[in-house]
Amino acid sequence: MAEANTHADIPASGSTKERILHTAARLFSERGFDNVSLRDITTEADVNIAAVNYHFGSKVGLLTVVFDHYAAPVNAARETLLDECDRKHGEAPPAVADVLWALLYPAFHAPATGEDGRYFRQMLGRMSSSANPDVRRILFNTFDNVAERFVDMMSRACPDLPKEELFWRLTCVYGAMMYAQADNGRIRTLAGETFDSTNMDDALKYMIPFLTAGFTQPPAAR
């Protein structure tokens, strides 16, 4: 089958594997995992089913590679920023804003800018609420190591917070991050089309102070 470029975001010079990867990321971001078939992906990428089976084995295998490919720079950037936070604060508790920056900045800016980055952010936002056990397993396995380090540093940043309250506040952080990533258009329907929910610099500008203020409140009254 001819390997023509059918979408502007898929490089014409890309290999069959790259086109499948980019197309899958885009379709998963638009529809979620369960609502996309291998036939949808191969039709959009202009390849045959055998190519998917050869390179990825299955749709679940394809999703695993999509996460490995796009999440690697996110995890690496988070580790680097958490290392910097450790060096900056030494034995003292790290600043909440610094820990939040280490979590959110890579999520909103890695992988590199462009359509692929936007697709992956939207895919993460959409799949974070998925009940599909394969999706949840891949998602958790991809991010668990860095997430555990993030939780540990936030615990050090807020030593007076009871554990239960710490995790409720973390729930708010993750919820805000995932909603901003998913960009489902809901806020634009309330704010009007002039509101640009795709501007990740604005997201960081407003979310970091807001979440920092919430996280640094005294523990709730018993």
Instruction: Please give the pLDDT value at position 202.
Output: 92
pTM of the predicted structure, to 2 decimals: 0.80
The tokens of 91 are what? 């034995």
What pLDDT score does 83 carry?
A: 95
Please tell me the predicted confidence (pLDDT) of residue 8. Answer: 34
| CA 199-110-203 angle, 5° bins | 25
Check whether 5 has a pLDDT greater than 60: no
Tokens of 137: 């397993």
What does the pLDDT read at residue 82? 95
Per-residue pLDDT band for 9 (boundaries 50, 70, 90) equals very low
Q: How far is CA 152 from the centre of its chain?
A: 20
pLDDT of residue 70: 86
pLDDT digits (tens, 9 = 90+) for 124-159: 888 888 889 999 999 999 999 999 999 999 999 999
